[in-house]
Amino acid sequence: MWLPIHLNENSAEPMYHQIEVQLRALIVSGQLTEGTLLPSIRELAQILKCSVITVRRVYQDLETEGLLRTRQGTGTFVASVQQEDLGRQRTASVIEAVEAAVDAGMRVQLTRREMEQIVARVIDERWKES
């Protein structure tokens, strides 16, 4: 199974975090539905050119969150997630991304006004594309 996960080797974000954030987004957005069989840990590590330990950590973290379910000998599947939990997960993933963007802006000493303008411009551009 192909997963649209893209890693940025130049990012300060750890690889496992990049994978986890993107996989979580695929699940909470409904792009990966309940019961979808994910690639094995080894297979995904090979596809993403990362370590098996990295993928194992991602799968374990998402299983702890209730987004994945592993069946011994069968594989790892997208779990059944309640609508209420999905909404909370969707909000949490966006908050996490916004926090990272704000942190990046603060590191380069953007003002609050500059960051607000950037966010507004990105939102406007994305809405035009969709």
- Parse the chain into domains and list their residue ranges: 15-81, 84-129
| Rounded mean pLDDT, 98-126 | 93
The pLDDT tens digits for 46-94 are: 999 999 999 999 999 999 999 999 999 999 999 997 777 777 878 887 8
pLDDT of residue 28: 87
| Rounded mean pLDDT, 19-27 | 93
pTM to 2 decimals? 0.73
pLDDT of residue 57: 98
Which CATH code, of 3.40.50.720, 2.60.120.590, 1.10.10.10, 1.10.599.10, is assigned to 15-81? 1.10.10.10
H-type alpha helices, 1-130: 15-28, 41-48, 52-64, 83-107, 112-129
% of the chain at pLDDT higher than 70: 100
Q: Distance of CA 90 to CAs 50, 80, 113, Å? A: 26, 15, 26
Please enumerate, as own/partner, the contacts of 83-88 that have beta carbons within 8 Å and a separation of 24 or more: 86/28
What is the chain's mean pLDDT, rounded? Answer: 92
Report the C-alpha gap between 93 and 49 in whole angstroms.
24
Q: Distance of CA 18 to CAs 48, 57, 73, 80, 100, Å? A: 11, 12, 27, 23, 12
